[in-house]
Structure formats: structure tokens, C-alpha cells
Amino acid sequence: MAFDGNQVVVEGTIWGADGCKTAEMTEAAYDSASDELRISVGTKQQTDAGDMCTQAIMEIDYRATVTFANGLPGTVVVSHDTGDGRSSVTTAIR
């Protein structure tokens, strides 16, 4: 995770159920009272995947960028959406 100018950049890896999945940002919410950005990443079916997919758990790399107009948040919390709900992955404090 990086605080870069007016952006927060998060890079990571999430597990996909098969080779036809891709990562998607499912939430990017800023709470001004706590000065906290919450980012959640999940998986979805690739639009151009077709009918044939590898039947194996796959690592899916992602990069999420959130741009701020009035300064960066003090805390960023990243979670992954899984079949069992959200699980916290990392927290960064600026």
C-alpha cells in the first residue's frame, strides 16, 4: 500500500475459485469522522471468459487506486470478500 500525492494505491492478491474469475473493488468508502478509507476487494466472472475455465483455485493480482481532492486519509483498511464474508487483509496508518 502506498500514499502517493493525492492517491492511495493498494496492490494485492486475492484467491479466485477458477480461472475465469477476476478481481473487482466491491467497496471504497471514506468515513470523515474517523478519517478512515475502507477498501474491499472481491472476485467476479470475467466478461470474456467463455465456457471453458480451469478448475483450480487461482491467485488474482489487483491494483486499486483511490484519489482524494482534500488530503489523504489517516487510516486505510483493506479487506477481501470471500465466500465466508469479509476478512481483513491489512491496515495502514499514515
pLDDT digits (tens, 9 = 90+) for 52-68: 888 889 999 999 999 99
What is the reported pLDDT for 47?
82
Q: Name the stretches of the chain with pLDDT < 70.
A: none
Distances (CA, A) of 38 to 17, 89, 94: 24, 11, 14
Q: What is the DSSP string of 39-69?
A: EEEEEEE-TT--S----S-EEEEEEEEEE-S
What is the reported pLDDT for 84?
81
Q: How many CB atoms lie within 10 A of CB 75?
A: 14
What is the reported pLDDT for 55?
86
